[in-house]
Structure 1
Amino acid sequence: MAVEKSSLGLKRIGIADVLPTALPTVFTELEDAQIDSASVTESEPTTEDVRIEQKKGIYRRIETAEGSTVFTVQLYDVSADNIAALKGGTVTPATAQVGKRWARKETVEVTKALELVTLDDYKIYIPNGYVIALITWALSKSALATITLTITAQDHELGDILIEEPLED
């Protein structure tokens, strides 16, 4: 039977520092992704149609803004180390009186390389991603605190997104 060229689910999320001309060889795993919250989506470019008096239809189509590729996921891991990896800031070690602390003194732009591995071993890479990590700290018995992670693909020498099929057995 031939290998199906479809893909399902999420096995692993990895991030690493961006390298200027290559993919990182080691990625740090992000854990505790909320079920059904992860996706990679592309958006269409924004265009403007120019029409003229003498003809019906479109005379010329102008692209006014590029489309984008975006990865989003909800993470339950709100540890100080995970927040620092995704938002910048500093982590202070725990003491006898105070637990480990994350602190943000200024807002920084965070970029990371992203590796996604699906349950059927497809790999999706964003070699240079702009990271936005937003904390939602639910204060109820029925919901957990989350980090909403959004990584938008940016220009890179290898391309803004790479998709690798699994090797056939």
Structure 2
Amino acid sequence: MKRILLVIVLAAAALSGLAPTASAAPPGGGWEPAPSAPADYPAGARCAFAIHLEPVVDKVYGKVLKTRPDGSAALQAYAGPLVERFTNVENGKSTLADASGFALVEYHTDGVQIWHVTGPVLVGFQPNRDNHAPGVFILDGVYTLKIAPAYRTVLSGHWAERDLCAAVS
């Protein structure tokens, strides 16, 4: 029932304007820029080769929807256009990855994050630690991720995926 409710909340948020569209101007009402930083991973950490991620379009915004008594975020929404250039450092091949999805993120005090996602998001999985094949993928659909300090798990949902490691190998 909780998952059905979250899907309804995600759909209602998108329809009500809580989620800014890809072409929206910077939203007001508590939305703050949430930029992505470039990232590098050595061979074997995600793909069999070293990779570099660089945002080329980054207009993602976040909005805290619920806080804890100490003021830290307990629930936050993220939305907006994000396109990353994903590069195989060893052969120079690259591809663009659209990760412009909408997510509601629950932040737990033990460091666990539960991501309720609609649309495409870029997710990296590590060998021998996660419940998904290792690599970096665009997951596009409606799904839930559990991101813990030591592992990532796709909990439920329906999605299509694009294997970015395979795209540039």
With normalisation by structure 2, the TM-score equals 0.27
Task: Give 1 or 2: higher helix fraction.
Answer: 2
Q: Which has the larger radius of gyration?
A: 1
Task: Give 1 or 2: higher strand fraction.
Answer: 2
